[in-house]
Every structure is written in structure tokens, then in C-alpha cells.
Amino acid sequence: MENQELVLLAKKAMEKAYAPYSKFKVGAALLAKNGDIFLGCNVENASYGATICAERTAITKAISEGVKEFEKIAIVASSGDYAAPCGICRQVLFEFLPEGEVILDSDSEGIKVMKLKELLPMGFRGEDIK
């Protein structure tokens, strides 16, 4: 799947975001190695700590369907600017696509593709536990 197609799907997911507090809507489209695509949007909560990001929504949907291997994820935000994953999302993404790509989109700058390892160069792995 082309990066632009994944970005367009992330934008559709963003339309479903629940962001009454921040007004900052985020959408994600996660491409699995088997070709399946999982969409996610951010879902805020008045307690803020219970908020779930678009990236983790997409990952959770995929895992709940038995899919655990991914190639890339596209992430878009209602601000129209690049919106890189937060720290928690970077770590969760690292669990499932450490060699994967993160596709970001900006209305004015276009698509930017980065390796997840660029965003989280020393991500923690389960095998690091002794």
C-alpha cells in the first residue's frame, strides 16, 4: 500500500476522534504484514489519564483480532502539522514494529517517513528483562 493511501485512511479515522477537551483530533492507519489495515483515533476522557491515543487504538484493535506483525503506521492530526507519536505510543509501537516506518503528514510540508527507531532509538524490549 502506498503511503499516501495510508495517510488518507488515517484522515478518515481522525474524523471519528473524540476530543472534546483538547480539540486535537488524531487518526492512525496501521498496515499489517498480512495486508490488513487497522484504523484508530484518539478517545479523550475528562480524567485525561484515561485518554487513549490513535496509535494505541489501532494497535489494540489489531492485537484483539490476532494480528501482531506490522509494516508501517500513518498518523495525522487536526492541526494540519506533523504529529509524531507520544512517548507511550512510541514504546507500544516499538513492541510490535521496531523495524517499521512511521508516516507523518503536514498540510504545508507533505509526507515525512521515518523509521520508528529514529523516534525511539533505544526502545525497551521484553528480552531486556533478566
Annotated binding-site residues for substrate read 42-48
Q: How far is 120 from 117, CA to CA, in rounded Å?
A: 5
- Active-site annotation holds for 69: no
List the beta bridge partners of residue 112. 104
Query: What does DSSP assign to residue 77?
Result: E
Angle (nearest 5°) at CA 93 between 105 and 55: 50
Which residue numbers belong to the known binding site for Zn(2+)?
A: 53, 86, 89
C-alpha cell at 75: 498518523
Binding site, residues? 42-48, 53, 86, 89
Catalytic annotation, pick one of 2, 5, 15, 55: 55
Catalytic residues: 55
